[in-house]
Amino acid sequence: MRRAFVMGSNGPADSNLGSLRYARQDAERMKACLSGARCGFVVENPEPGADTFEVRRKLTIVAESCTPEDTFVCYFSGHGTLEKGSLVLLWDNTQVDRLLSTALPVSDILQILKYCKARSRLLILDCCHAGAVTTTFGLKDAAGVPVQELEISPDNYYVLMASDRLETARELETLQGSFLTMNIAAALDEKFVEADKDEDDRISMQDLHHWLEDRAKIHNQLYPSTKVSYPYLLGKQKGEFYLTLAASAWVPYELDWPDGSTMVVLPIHPTNMRQLRLASAFDPVEALCISKYPITNAQYKRFIKESGWGKEPVGEHYISQPEETTQHPASQQPSVGSWQGPFYPWRIKEFRDPEKPVVCISFKEAISYCDWVNDLDTQAKGSTSLPDPRTWDIAAFGTAFPSYDPDTIFTQNQRIYHKSSAPASIDRTGNRSNVLGISDLLGNVWEWCEREEEAGLARLGPREPQIELRGGGFLDDLSTVKPVLLEYSLGDKEDTRHSDLGFRIAARIPLENLPEEVQRRLLTAMGIRR
């Protein structure tokens, strides 16, 4: 488990101290980086308005929950001051004449970390001594006091400080944040490749320290009038300490699509394995991505308005009888109950919300939507289509040949939306997402998939390839129903428009359109070395 506790305070609104401008913003930035897919931390932070006693209590609970296999990071950005030779961190409601009860002594935090069982522990102190003069110039300092005199002596963990003596840790207007925090965030995000000094696709404490020193040196050469201090790393660690996940772990990458979808890049190659093995270092390579969510009512309404191709969805809704037993309602031969229409989902309260998946969509209408998206893509981001069945399976299960048994299904997602009377709004909290960050692949609505022949895969036998559907819908009980359907089980085949039937999109994009780090990781996942 990777856990973090992130704190930030601009300090008390005291005219003698002066509030910082960006400390809370720095804390939010650090929380976003640590909780992101690359770092994978579960991040806790104090509740708004919490006093220092509540902050200590929550930090203690998080630290005590760690096991020896865990990694724990504690972060603070804000004012610091010296009281009887000890460093004290100022909080929103700190009173300078009552520091013991209204501020956070660093010694308390160090004591909590001392008893934390996590093998890897890191305390980041982006703090300052809040003199009125120094804050006027945007400085964070601790009056030149050596680290050893601040009672900081970690045992088997690291403390990363804004500088050796914390004398001039800066908030910079040009960065709109602290120099230390902004560059830590950069190393864990957009500057990952540069910060990864040993090119092992991970950021270790050594990588981070060297990166921060380099950035400080460059900054001081370019801006001698606003020099920053070199960061100070104190402590020892048995073995490597990594802030990012293992190099073998695929880090999902998201990008915005012209129709408003969020696309997630998959760690696979879109062509078959024989073509992959024959790929040379100079062959063009594409990445394959799939939309994070099913297409929503809002997106489909935009399609109708702008394309002139579509019309308000209309189809059939499953009407069950009181004595019905568990069945698979997507089939046209239920023992009890039937599909009845016309059914207009946009005229029904439980179906028409803009954030709910669009339903009553036929295969041909889903294809028309993809064609419209391709017309929108004036910058040639990629080629949009429906996902083929193998791609969908890989996105949902991590393999092109999964087991569809219930045990497998319910281990792929934290939560699955099924056994309900209407679809759920798409989940932007991540509660219904899988390890790749893709939501509702299982449950909520059935999804059309592209014919395998159209997806470029080998056709088996003389029969026309069947259109397949995946996922299961809100009407189903996925503990008994497999999330796979063929069009012959649908009464109207590709023209079927059921109230639990929607779709999501996929796309192929040139690898060169992705950031360098994503290209490198994707090529590694594909087994291609360049």
Prediction pTM value = 0.58
Q: Which of 110-114, 154-158, 237-241, 350-354 has the lowest mean pLDDT?
A: 154-158
Query: What does the DSSP 8-state code read for residue 250?
Result: -
Query: What does the DSSP 8-state code read for residue 63?
Result: H
Which domains does the chain possess?
2-235 (3.40.50.1460), 292-379+388-506 (no CATH)
Spatial distance between the Cα atoms of 411 and 185, rounded to a whole number of angstroms: 32
Length of the chain: 530
Give backbone dihedrals phi and psi of 423, rounded to 5 degrees, phi first. Answer: -70, 160
Angle at 37 between CA 250 and CA 293, to 5 degrees: 90
Q: Are 61 and 53 in contact (CB under 8 A)?
A: no
Q: What is the pLDDT of residues 486-504, one digit of tens each?
A: 988 898 999 999 999 999 9
Q: What is the pLDDT of residues 235-271, one digit of tens each?
A: 766 667 888 887 666 677 899 999 999 999 987 655 4
Quick check: 339 pLDDT over 90? yes
Q: Bigger pLDDT: 28 or 337? A: 28
Spatial distance between the Cα atoms of 517 and 529, rounded to a whole number of angstroms: 14
Spatial distance between the Cα atoms of 361 and 442, rounded to a whole number of angstroms: 18
Q: How far apart are the first and last CA of the chain?
A: 34
Quick check: 274 pLDDT over 50? no
Q: Which two tokens stand for residue 22?
A: 């960006």
Quick check: 328 pLDDT over 90? no
Q: Bigger pLDDT: 161 or 237? A: 161
Q: Bigger pLDDT: 101 or 506? A: 506
Cβ-based neighbour number of residue 54 at 10 Å: 12
Q: Are 186 and 509 in contact (CB under 8 A)?
A: no
